[in-house]
Amino acid sequence: VAMAATRSVMRAVRVFEFGGPEVLKLQSDVLVPVPKENQVLIKVHACGVNPVETYIRSGTYARKPALPYTPGSDVAGVIESVGEHVTAFKKGDRVFTLETVSGGYAEYAVAAANRVFPLPDKVDFRQGAAIGVPYFTAYRALFQKGCAKAGESVLVHGASGGVGLATCQIARACGLKVLGTAGTEEGMNVILRNGAHQAFNHRDPNYTERIKECTGPGGVDIIIEMLSNVNLDADLQLLSCAGRVMVVGCRGRIEINPRDTMSKESSIIGVSLFLATEEERHECATAVLDGIEAGWLKPVVGLEYPLEKVAKAHEDIICSSGARGKMVLLL
């Protein structure tokens, strides 16, 4: 009985109003959620921090959760209990999630069983928290939406962050020629170690010219774009005929000339993991788990923060000089 009593409350981050990082409040008396049917309760060991969580928190994103809420979608941890009809998991299983029902910035999180996947022993919890959103997004952008094929070239714009590194690893493993950009020397080295054939510093004023020298007159087939409000206009100049820009990230507006798409019959395609069908998520999961098994999928963990430094994490993911892997909260 004492055990149950101690477990009934937990530490969790709560957001009571939309705004800056300071609206993230760590509370120690939040009730531990109870899994309903087809749900599981996970004891969280690590939770990924994604740029989208800062947009949602600020209230500027298309999807607004009901207040108050706990942010966080990709957690890694151990199954604590399962709801009715759950047969795929049992207490003690190591798992990672793609999303949660109750929020991942917490000691315990409830998730739908079909958004939870087994975490292989060769991957630790910190890495497990770096799989869900980045790798599923990268796979969706490259193949489900971008129709990438072996032999094509891909430019990963902002390749040293979580989604960027996932894209480099997947694209390299699937036979694409991989070019990546980063904002620091260290970031460039990280992407070269994780699948990029060539790295470019996007702070160099002439970096697009260097990319053109590398791709030749043909241009690049696919661009995976993390900051389209800055780069989209330039991206259209870099594309090949029938090339496509996959818009994965954006923080504002940009002016482009649509004629640039006509001259090459190129496409600008938005990517949202939230819109994936059950079937598409299953396909992503299969590719990801195969990649871990084969050894080429190795999540790179960047900055790590304890739960009480969550506001700093939200500040740093938007304002830091250059990403180096996936940012995680450790519990």
- Shortest CA distance to 97 belongs to which of 116, 69, 113? 116
In the chain, ranges of CATH 3.40.50.720 domains: 134-274
CATH topology of domain 9-130+299-330: Quinone Oxidoreductase; Chain A, domain 1 (3.90.180)
> Does CATH number 3.40.50.720 belong to domain 134-274?
yes
Cβ 177 vs Cβ 154: under 8 Å: yes
Q: Alpha-carbon distance 260 to 8, whole Å? A: 58
Q: Alpha-carbon distance 86 to 135, whole Å? A: 25
Q: Alpha-carbon distance 199 to 179, whole Å? A: 6
CB atoms within 10 A of CB 145: 22
Model confidence pLDDT, tens digit, residues 296-331: 999 999 999 999 999 999 999 988 767 789 999 999
- Shortest CA distance to 15 belongs to which of 67, 77, 65? 67
Q: Which residues pair with 153 in a beta bridge?
A: 177
In the chain, ranges of CATH 3.90.180.10 domains: 9-130+299-330
Q: Alpha-carbon distance 3 to 206, whole Å? A: 62
Q: Find the DSSP H helices in 195-241.
A: 207-215, 228-238
Q: For each of the chain's 331 residues, which pLDDT tens digit applies?
A: 445 545 699 999 999 999 999 999 999 999 999 999 999 999 999 999 998 999 999 999 888 999 999 999 999 999 999 999 999 999 999 999 999 999 999 999 999 999 999 999 999 999 999 999 999 999 999 999 999 999 999 999 999 999 999 999 999 999 999 999 999 999 999 999 999 999 999 999 999 999 999 999 999 999 999 999 999 999 999 999 999 999 999 989 999 999 999 999 999 999 999 999 999 999 999 999 999 999 999 999 999 999 999 999 999 998 876 778 999 999 9
